[in-house]
């Protein structure tokens, strides 16, 4: 493996660790605003990646994906949330679930803005080393956060997309949701190992990146 490839992987993993820390902290912060202090009391509303690290989802899987040249994504330890006793728990569950993907899209949008800004700068003068490094990190952050946002919006438990969907389902569909909760992790792992997840993730990720780069800035 060349030095440049090693640096690229290190940057992508570093970007992912920050992204998942931001993502999980968003869950915890919104839960706190809804009346649940569990995440705050456990110190999980923090941008310190070590507080959220999952050895498989935060390190092993992203590294393997990076080595294979595939889009890098992963997950962290889920922030514990207890919505019993909070006002309107169904609405709270919707807000808490949506907070993760929305925070990731916010990071992706910020990264896209930096990429666009530095592209304009490069067109007017020769970029400095600092600008070149910032551009490389911003491009990596855009790609990683776009992948993470699309991945988490999939309606498969335990991903956030399912939490949003579950909060919107009529009560008659609750037995189906309970069944999916039981087998969702196995379904998700099968989708990853079979490569079928990449069929969905790749085009959706590219569409999100293109959309963000076209936003006015």
Condensed to tens digits (0 to 9), the pLDDT of residues 137-179 reads 999 999 999 999 999 999 999 899 999 999 998 888 888 888 8
Q: Tell me what the mean pLDDT of segment 184-202 comes to.
A: 83
Catalytic residue among 24, 125, 126, 166: 24
Domain span at residue 207 reads 3-214
Is 32 or 4 the better-scoring residue by pLDDT?
A: 32
Query: What does pTM read for this prediction?
Result: 0.89
Listed in sequence order, the residues at least 6 apart from 111 whose beta carbon sits closer than 8 Å to its beta carbon are 138, 139, 141, 142, 145, 212
CA-closest candidate to residue 20, choices 40, 47, 38: 47
24 is catalytic: yes
End-to-end CA distance of the chain: 37
pLDDT at 1 over 70: no
Domain total of the chain: 1
| pLDDT range class, residue 111, cuts 50, 70, 90 | very high
């Amino acid at each position: 493996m060349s030095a440049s490839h090693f640096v690229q992987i290190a940057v992508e993993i570093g970007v992912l660790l920050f992204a998942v820390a931001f993502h999980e902290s968003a869950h915890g912060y919104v839960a706190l605003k809804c009346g649940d202090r569990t995440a705050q009391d456990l110190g999980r509303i923090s941008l310190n990646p070590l507080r959220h690290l999952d050895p498989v989802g935060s390190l092993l899987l992203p590294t393997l994906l990076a080595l294979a040249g595939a889009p890098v994504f992963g997950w962290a330890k889920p922030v514990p949330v207890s919505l019993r006793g909070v006002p309107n728990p169904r609405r709270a569950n919707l807000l808490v679930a949506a907070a993760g993907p929305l925070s990731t899209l916010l990071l992706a949008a910020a990264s896209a803005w930096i990429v666009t800004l530095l592209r304009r700068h490069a067109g007017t003068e020769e970029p400095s080393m600092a600008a070149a490094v910032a551009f490389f990190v911003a491009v990596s952050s855009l790609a990683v956060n776009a992948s993470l946002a699309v991945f988490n919006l999939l309606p498969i438990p335990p991903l956030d997309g399912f939490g949003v969907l579950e909060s919107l389902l009529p009560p008659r569909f609750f037995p189906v949701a309970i069944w999916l909760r039981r087998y969702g992790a196995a379904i998700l792992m099968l989708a990853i190992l079979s490569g079928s997840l990449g069929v969905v993730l790749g085009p959706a990720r590219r569409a999100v990146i293109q959309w963000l780069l076209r936003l006015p800035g």
